Amino acid sequence: MSIINVTRDHAQANVVVDGILGAFRTDGIDISKLLMFSRDNPNVNKTVDKMINDAMKKVNAELLNIGTCNLHVIHNGFRAGTTETIWGVENFCMNIWSWFQKSPARQEDFENIADELNDVIEKPILYFSSTRWVLLGKVIDRVLKQYHMFREYFLVYLPSKQQKQIQSNSCYDNIKEKEGPLVHLLYDELCDLYRTVLLYFLSPEKQLTTKKLQIGEEAHRLLVDVSASDRVTLFHDVKLIYHAIVDNLKKHLPLKNTFLKDLHVLDSASRTKPDSADTMIRVGRAIPKLLSDAEIDRIRHEFMMYAAETIDQSWYIKNKYHDSDGNNHTEYQQIDYYWNKT
What is the pLDDT confidence band of residue 334, given thresholds at 50, 70 and 90?
Answer: confident
Q: What is the CA radius of gyration of the chain?
A: 27
Determine the pLDDT at residue 206.
Answer: 80
Contacts 24+ apart (CB under 8 A), 247-250: 247/80, 248/76, 248/77, 248/80, 248/81, 249/73, 249/74, 249/77, 249/193, 249/194, 249/197, 250/194
What is the pLDDT confidence band of residue 176, given thresholds at 50, 70 and 90?
Answer: very low
pLDDT digits (tens, 9 = 90+) for 223-235: 888 898 988 888 8
Determine the pLDDT at residue 257.
Answer: 92
Determine the pLDDT at residue 162.
Answer: 60
Determine the pLDDT at residue 262.
Answer: 94
Determine the pLDDT at residue 173.
Answer: 44
Query: Higher confidence at residue 182 or residue 242?
Result: 242
Task: Output phi, psi for 322, to 5 deg.
Answer: -110, 140
Q: Using alpha carbons only, what angle is made at residue 118 by residues 117 and 119, rounded to the nearest 5 degrees?
A: 90
pLDDT at 36 exceeding the cut of 60: yes
What is the pLDDT confidence band of residue 6, given thresholds at 50, 70 and 90?
Answer: low
Determine the pLDDT at residue 264.
Answer: 92
pLDDT digits (tens, 9 = 90+) for 143-173: 888 888 888 888 888 877 765 554 444 444 4
pLDDT at 283 exceeding the cut of 60: yes
Exposure string for 22-59, b = 16+ CB within 10 A, e = fewer = eebeeeeeeebebbebebeebeebeebbebbeebbeee
pTM here is 0.66
Determine the pLDDT at residue 113.
Answer: 85
Determine the pLDDT at residue 127.
Answer: 74
Determine the pLDDT at residue 174.
Answer: 42
Residue 321 pairs in a beta bridge with 329
Q: How far apart are CA 44 and CA 94, in angstroms?
A: 26
What is the pLDDT confidence band of residue 128, given thresholds at 50, 70 and 90?
Answer: low
Q: Per mean pLDDT, which range of 62-76, 286-300, 314-328 is the poorest? A: 62-76
pLDDT digits (tens, 9 = 90+) for 299-322: 989 998 998 888 888 988 889 888
Query: Higher confidence at residue 43 or residue 299?
Result: 299
What is the pLDDT confidence band of residue 129, given thresholds at 50, 70 and 90?
Answer: low
Query: Higher confidence at residue 129 or residue 19?
Result: 19
Burial class (CB in 10 A: 0-12, 13-18, 19+), 184: middle
Q: How far apart are CA 72 and CA 70, in angstroms?
A: 5
Determine the pLDDT at residue 172.
Answer: 40
HEC string of the chain? CCCCCCCCCCCCHHHHHHHHHHHHHHCCCCHHHCCCCCCCCCCCCHHHHHHHHHHHHCCCCCCCCCCCCHHHHHHHHHHHHHCCCCCCHHHHHHHHHHHHHCCHHHHHHHHHHHHHCCCCCCCCCCCCCHHHHHHHHHHHHHHHHCHHHHHHHHHHHHHHHCHHHHCCCHHHHHCCCCCCCCHHHHHHHHHHHHHHHHHCCECCCCECCHHHCCCCHHHHHHHHHCCHHHHHHHHHHHHHHHHHHHHHHHHHCCCCCHHHHHHHHHCHHHCCCCCHHHHHHHHHHHCCCCCCHHHHHHHHHHHHHHHHCCCCHHHCEEEEEECCCCCEEEEECCHHHHHHHC
Mean pLDDT for the stretch of residues 317-340: 86
Mean per-residue pLDDT of the chain: 82
pLDDT at 38 exceeding the cut of 80: no
Mean pLDDT for the stretch of residues 287-296: 86
Query: Higher confidence at residue 257 or residue 160?
Result: 257
83 with 244: CB under 8 angstroms? Answer: yes
Mean pLDDT for the stretch of residues 33-37: 83
Q: How far apart are CA 134 and CA 76, in angstroms?
A: 9
